[in-house]
Amino acid sequence: MQNFVHILSKLPYSKPFLFVDHLHSVDENGVEGSYTFPGDSYFYKGHFAGQPITPGVILTEVMAQIGVVCLGIFLLADAQHSDIDIALTSTQVDFYKPVLPTETVIVRSTKDYFRFHKLKCKVEMLNSDGELICRGAISGMMKPKKYA
Amino acid sequence: MQTKEELIETLKKIVKPYVQDEQAFENVTEDTDFIKDLKINSANLVDIALDVEEAYDIEIDNESMEQMLTVGSAIEIITKKLAEK
């Protein structure tokens, strides 16, 4: 498996809000990666009380971090810079199956377009049985800080 | 070739779904600023540019995009790009 540390090291997140474990493939048209939800993740204490299920908003965040931010970092890699300004601008996601603590999810993203600093992707999440968990469209603005 | 008034009408149709300030939209002039007046966010301004490209079969370059902040500047850019075709 290729080492994508040059992308992962530029992710502007840390625990408990880093939701990328591995990238499996990246090219100019898309990205695939995975994340395993630790059973002691903070949100399971309250979502839901006594019945831990991964919140949809967190699934959306996983899709955004792997599917949009990692791809954006890759697409901006040619430019000479290290810092990138990032803003989530829209999400439209449909959910099909729940994700329980300790599950591993795979995120696949396909670039719709990346123009004028806006990256829009079609993103889907699968569980380890290959079943569809959620799918949608996510957009964000990504631009090098020096041009800000 | 559309007249300026026709261009503005077409542009208004493209812009409408992204507008957050309906009152400002009703009183659009060439000086109307997409972000400051119509409260459109920068991401949706990109969508407007892409919709304009499709509607007029033109390509908006990065430099034009940076200038495309008002209704008037958008009309100027569309007119210029159409003339270059």
Per-residue pLDDT reduced to its tens digit, B21-53: 999 999 999 999 999 999 999 999 999 999 999
Query: Which residues of B fall within a CB distance of 8 Å from A140?
Result: 43
- This model of the complex carries an ipTM of 0.90
Question: Domain range holding B77?
Answer: 4-84
Question: Between chains, do B43 and A115 touch, taking CB under 8 Å as contact?
Answer: no
Domains and CATH numbers, chain A: 5-147 (3.10.129.10)
Confidence (pLDDT) at B2: 82
Specify whether the CB–CB gap between B7 and B78 falls below 8 A. yes
Confidence (pLDDT) at A78: 65
* Selected residue of A116, A121, A141, A142 to mutate for chain B interface (largest B Cβ count, 10 A): A116
DSSP secondary structure string for all residues of B7-41: HHHHHHHHHGGG-S-HHHHHT--TT-BTTTTT---
Lowest-confidence segment of A122-126, A142-146, B37-41 by average pLDDT: A142-146
* Selected residue of B34, B47, B51 to mutate for chain A interface (largest A Cβ count, 10 A): B47
Query: Which residues of A fall within a CB distance of 8 Å from B49?
Result: 115-116
What pairs with residue A54 in β-bridges? Answer: none
Active site annotation includes A47 = yes
Q: What is the pTM of this model?
A: 0.92
Residue listed under structure tokens 């459109």? B40
- Let me know if B62 is exposed, middle or buried by CB neighbors in 10 A (0-12, 13-18, 19+): exposed
Question: Between chains, do A89 and B41 touch, taking CB under 8 Å as contact?
Answer: yes
CATH of the domain at B77: 1.10.1200.10
DSSP secondary structure string for all residues of A91-116: EEEEE-S---TT-EEEEEEEEEEEET
B41 touches chain A (CB under 8 A): yes
Nearest one of A112, A115, A123 to A60, comparing CA atoms: A123
- Residue B43, helix vs strand vs coil: helix
